[in-house]
Structure 1
């Protein structure tokens, strides 16, 4: 991976992490188009730069995250993230195995897009307009919805937002809680990927994520650059998405997923 490739992947991550279109699918496709070899470092890099994107949420909503008088906010996130932590740990190897299956990921893009075409009609008359009105029970239910995104191509953002709307949250409140929930979820994923997970178990030289990063100065540079760019781009995307969601709903994102998913299916089926 060279510097330009890392920058492009970070831009893609920042743009798509909080949109209901699957950052995993878009980064995988971008890497494929650039002819990048699917190395263990590349896979770890794609996961770890999500840390930069989630820091953008903390920056955008810093008053919420540093309001220590509102302890219920932290309780809700703590309980809501438990399902993803448990299931993610149990099915980590199976999830990683699917990451290289572009046909499966492209199919999920299409199927998820079809769902998004109808979401606006399924959940009408919301009653929860703010995170403060959300109960811990409903937060946990949204946390289980988030687990649907363990199938690459589904979109963590889409799954958790739909989960929020199923619990009577408005589109805006559901999107914002999805952002909040991403922070502990993706922070845990990053810590696990960089410090706990052993990459390349079947190779002659398995390594922890931080060992790959520290292996040479180029890897350190790419890791830092990737997170910084993902942070900047995600900060812009977060605010833009809320505005677009309020104005147009989910249907444009659904059609986007269907069109891109079909294009990817054709590409990976006949040209790769």
Structure 2
């Protein structure tokens, strides 16, 4: 196993953990940094499969709360309604993701200029939404109207374009649909569980015959790094956005997208 490759996997795993739940596009960062590091993975599976670390980070932080909701399903209508809401929000990604999977992986994932463009456009949109004088009608992520859950699910599908950001799309959608900043971020955590787990399982199935032992070792390094950093992000993000909003992440996106274009212009 090439030590240099493992170091690159470690760097990318740290980036995944840091950016997965921020509205800055973890996939966009992975593709751009991977491009400039000269890192390639079999079938682009690394970028999807290391998300398992971020999934486990949510379970680590929210495990007790999710367990209470699961145990209450037989007797509590609110718990059942929330579970149905998450499934409704997840459904658009299932349909569109399966239909567009090959195009996303073979075309969009291989075009760094698309990532840079969507990072900048998404940053501008996030900045505009963050400065809107929206009046929140929903402050509890477990009690959104069912129609709101479905609409957020369609917003999430925009993140199939690399650089858009899954959390960014769901957060912007939730804010425009009447959620406050804290609950919008929290629901993006909850919706990440079935979405990322589904993407993980489907991508692993599609590439099961291509992954070698060396691939598994590289993915394992990225997974561990992603998990450790993602736990820290999930524990601190809600308080941060409650105090500072989303403007810092909007500017982050714009700067990274601009630097990405500059890098492509200089080195290709």
TM-score by length of 1: 0.89
Q: Which runs of 5+ in 2 are unaligned?
A: 73-78
| SS state at 2:163 partner | coil
Question: Are residues 1:167 and 2:177 paired?
Answer: yes
Distance of aligned partners of 1:156 and 1:29 in 2 relative to their CA distance in 1, 3 Å threshold: same
Residues 213-265 of structure 1 deviation map (CA, whole Å, 9 limit, x = unaligned): 3x22x333222232222111101011222222111111111111111111111
Distance 1:137 1:63 in 2: 27
Distance 1:123 1:265 in 2: 32
Residues 8-49 of structure 1 deviation map (CA, whole Å, 9 limit, x = unaligned): 11111000011011111111122122222x3425x1011111
Contact (CA 8 Å) 1:149, 1:155: kept in 2 or not?
Answer: yes
RMSD of aligned alpha carbons: 1.5
Distance 1:39 1:255 in 2: 29
1:123 is displaced (CA, Å) by 5.4
Counterparts of 1:5-84 in structure 2, within 5 Å, are 5-36=8-39, 38-41=40-43, 43-67=44-68, 68=70, 69=72, 70-84=79-93
Counterparts of 1:55-134 in structure 2, within 5 Å, are 55-67=56-68, 68=70, 69=72, 70-96=79-105, 97-122=107-132, 124-134=134-144
Aligned length: 256
Question: Are residues 1:238 and 2:248 paired?
Answer: no
Distance of aligned partners of 1:123 and 1:227 in 2 relative to their CA distance in 1, 3 Å threshold: farther
| SS state at 2:21 partner | coil
Distance 1:132 1:5 in 2: 38
| SS state at 2:172 partner | helix
Q: Give the helix-richer structure, 1 or 2.
A: 2
Distance 1:121 1:6 in 2: 37
Question: Are residues 1:212 and 2:210 paired?
Answer: yes
1:223 match:
219
| SS state at 2:126 partner | helix
1:266 is displaced (CA, Å) by 1.5
Distance of aligned partners of 1:123 and 1:100 in 2 relative to their CA distance in 1, 3 Å threshold: farther
Contact (CA 8 Å) 1:123, 1:165: kept in 2 or not?
Answer: no
1:201 match:
none
Question: Are residues 1:153 and 2:156 paired?
Answer: no
Contact (CA 8 Å) 2:119, 2:257: kept in 1 or not?
Answer: yes
Residues 92-131 of structure 1 deviation map (CA, whole Å, 9 limit, x = unaligned): 1221111111111101111111111111233511021112
Distance 1:81 1:28 in 2: 24
1:166 is displaced (CA, Å) by 1.7
Residues 168-210 of structure 1 deviation map (CA, whole Å, 9 limit, x = unaligned): 1110000000110011001000000001x2xxxxxxxxxx2x3
Contact (CA 8 Å) 1:123, 1:166: kept in 2 or not?
Answer: no
TM-score by length of 2: 0.91
| SS state at 2:178 partner | coil
1:190 match:
200
